[in-house]
Structure 1
């Protein structure tokens, strides 16, 4: 992002107790958004950052942008990946359980961008359901994401599924 903007260092959502634990009423079996975090990859800047605003399409990247479903309508768009990262817990500790990536571009000059809203919703759902979908990312973005996840918590990276490590290995 721009150098003059202050970056908030927001970590991943912490796993909370199950709000439906102990009763069999409404909501049992529903997926909780408490354990998912949106991570943006700014390919040109070579950085990754969490922006919780993306949960409602109100992230720093998305604010003030009208998104179009056709990539060709957004010439010279700056490329980003929005990666949905779901944290779960094993006996040994927390790990990256679901990691799914969605492409998007933003052209600030014309205040337009490209993203496929159905893809973003479906990928968030897949992440919540513990899927790993990152093989379609470019190598530079894979390196940025892998570095970010390792730096955030190396133990969580170590406890993660081998598929995640293999798919992010360039």
Structure 2
């Protein structure tokens, strides 16, 4: 075995579909909202980790695979908590920054191959993130700390350029 391990840092990238629906081809998607600057960050408070998983854009993230989603949380009483946090990145004169951040709950019980998530909540939170909203109040403090640490560590300059609202919302959990 090689002692060299590939760095996880390179896999975690805030990029998304680079389809410009206004590029002149005139086909499907013209006038559609652009998700170019949105990335889903998975928060796993059970394993103390946070990571970008672009599969979440199509409900195919690491935590969402191989389970059947149910619309009622009560049907997954032993589900482990995860958060899919929709992070929108934008640019201003000072540089890139975290524009919008909205977390959506997911509960997964691998033993019964069942999971819970509210699709309307995920769609609404993605939309709010695109519009620059910060929606993390409903998240537990440990998960907010993991998210704040991840965003700061991922790109300190983007963190510094972000709104005070975001910094305060994610820093309150550090107290």
Q: Quick check: TM above 0.5?
A: yes
What 5-or-longer segments of structure 1 have no aligned partner? Answer: 1-5
Q: Which has the higher contact order (CA 8 A, sep 6+)?
A: 1
**What is the distance in 2 between the residues matched to 1:17 and 1:115?**
27
What per-residue deviation string (whole Å, max 9, x for no partner) do you get for residues 105-135 of structure 1? Answer: 1001100001001100110111111111111
* Secondary structure in 2 matching 1:96: strand
1:3 matched residue in structure 2: none
1:109 aligns with 2:111: yes
Aligned residues: 161
Q: Does 1:56 align with 2:58?
A: yes
Match of 1:93 among 92, 95, 98: 95
**Is 2:75 the partner of 1:73?**
yes
Distance 1:108 1:17, change over 3 A: closer
Q: Deviations over 1:74-121 (max 9, x none)?
A: 021110010000000001110000100001110011000010011001
Tell me the SS of whatever aligns to 2:36. Answer: helix
Does the residue aligned with 1:147 lie in a helix, a strand or coil? helix
Measured in 2, the distance between the counterparts of 1:71 and 1:155 equals: 38
Structure 1's 81 and 14: CA in aligned 2 closer, same or farther, altered over 3 A?
closer
Q: Which residue of 2 aligns with 1:31?
A: 33
Using structure 1 for the length normalisation, give the TM-score.
0.87
The CA RMSD measured in Å over matched residues stands at 2.3
What are structure 2's unaligned runs of at least 5 residues?
A: 1-6
